[in-house]
Amino acid sequence: MLAVVLSLRKWRVVDVKAVSKILVNLDPDTDVQPALDKAIYLARSYRAEVHLLLVAYNRSLITNHFFSQKQLKTNIETYVKSLGRWVRSYVNDVENEDIKCTYQVVWHKPLYEAILQQAEEINADLVMKSTHHHASINKVLFTPNDWQLLNNCPVPLILAKSKTRNQYENIQAAVDPSDDAVETARLNQQILCASQNICEKLQAKAHAIHCYDPIGYQLWSDIGLGMGVGMGPTDFGMGEESYQEYINHFKITIEKKFKDTLANYNIDDDNLHLIEGYPEQILPKAVDKFDIDLLVLGASHHFALIGSTAEKILDYLHCDILSIRNWPESIADSEAS
């Protein structure tokens, strides 16, 4: 896919300390632009430039068979030009905040491809896109374009929600210390570095969270029974007493890994949240309980968010999301060559 090709070609380690250009995707279907509101806030803090992008596409123009190719081209150009006038009103809002602002309206489908192309062309350090809350089902519905960006955007991506504060006061890094893979460890460090850098820049409180999920007792018992089928009354060490030993050992191990992962980061002990339970159940509750404004999470080349636990979580989070992408160095090197 084009998005993946762009991501690989654009791969680089992004220093969140030095955000100088923010790409904001505008939603033409609403006057509520949470991504732009947050971008103005961040641009003031980072002294960054803002580039507004409106991706235009009108299916009725393409499917109208009464237009000649010349008429179709003229109609598209007129349509894009009319949207440009709408975008310029937002340019004025940004410039009134003493922030340098540029804009572009492009005719393209799908939307995510246009965003990735534009991010590459302007060398964006941060991409921002709005999501919108659906009150009738009490969640945000992420579009296919949102998921494609989460999986393929090569620079940090913020999905901003309309019902959140314009300022980030509590920022939480979601890490996975349970996986010993080198790639996961590196992604954890990138998430934590990004979170700490933003907290320092915005004078926000730093949090870190990991939800761990030990084997339940019923499954533990079933494993023991399965191991003993046809072999007589043998003790396979899968009883209640050994289960408690397993739980104690599991907690001690994960606590040590969690502390080791966070050892070099300045996060108050009260803001370290190691919680037992399924992430899809715990994370949304933790975001509300700790009043989190921005959740920093990561995705790697071998981990797709679509269809994963993350897809069950993100719709129900009442906070903005900052996604950090981690492409393996071998892929970056091969693309560069």
**Residue 302's closest CA among 151, 89, 81, 121?**
151
Cβ atoms of 123 and 21 within 8 Å: the answer is yes
Cβ atoms of 87 and 50 within 8 Å: the answer is no
pLDDT of residue 82: 87
Among all chains, which residue has been given the structure tokens 């397993």?
246
Q: CB-based contacts of 306: which residues, under 8 Å, 6+ apart?
A: 147, 150, 151
pLDDT of residue 70: 73
pLDDT of residue 73: 75
pLDDT of residue 320: 94
Cβ atoms of 126 and 22 within 8 Å: the answer is yes
**Residue 28's closest CA among 108, 102, 147?**
108
pLDDT per residue rounded down to tens, the chain (337 residues): 444 434 444 444 456 778 999 999 999 888 899 999 999 999 999 999 999 999 998 766 666 666 667 776 776 788 789 899 999 999 999 999 999 999 999 998 999 999 999 999 999 999 999 987 655 555 566 788 998 898 889 899 999 987 788 899 999 999 999 888 888 888 899 999 999 999 999 999 999 999 998 887 677 776 655 554 433 334 445 566 788 888 888 899 999 999 999 999 999 999 999 999 988 889 999 999 999 999 999 876 544 444 455 666 787 888 999 998 875 554 334 343 3
117: in domain: yes
d(CA 223, CA 42): 52
pLDDT of residue 311: 64
CA dist list (Å): 111 to 99, 116, 305: 26, 9, 19
CATH number for 32: 3.40.50.12370
d(CA 191, CA 14): 11
126: in domain: yes
pLDDT of residue 290: 97
Domain that holds residue 130: 1-163
147: in domain: yes
Hey, what are 177's tokens? 């210390």
pLDDT of residue 130: 94
Degrees to nearest 5, angle at CA 139 with 135 and 145: 115
101: in domain: yes
Beta strands in 144-268 (DSSP E): 157-161, 170-174, 205-212
Number of domains in the chain: 1
237: in domain: no
44: in domain: yes
pLDDT of residue 183: 84
d(CA 151, CA 147): 6
pLDDT of residue 177: 93
279: in domain: no
d(CA 176, CA 310): 13
143: in domain: yes
pLDDT of residue 141: 66
pLDDT of residue 33: 94
- Can you give 150-167 as a three-state secondary structure string? HHHCCCCEEEEECCCCCC
pLDDT of residue 7: 42
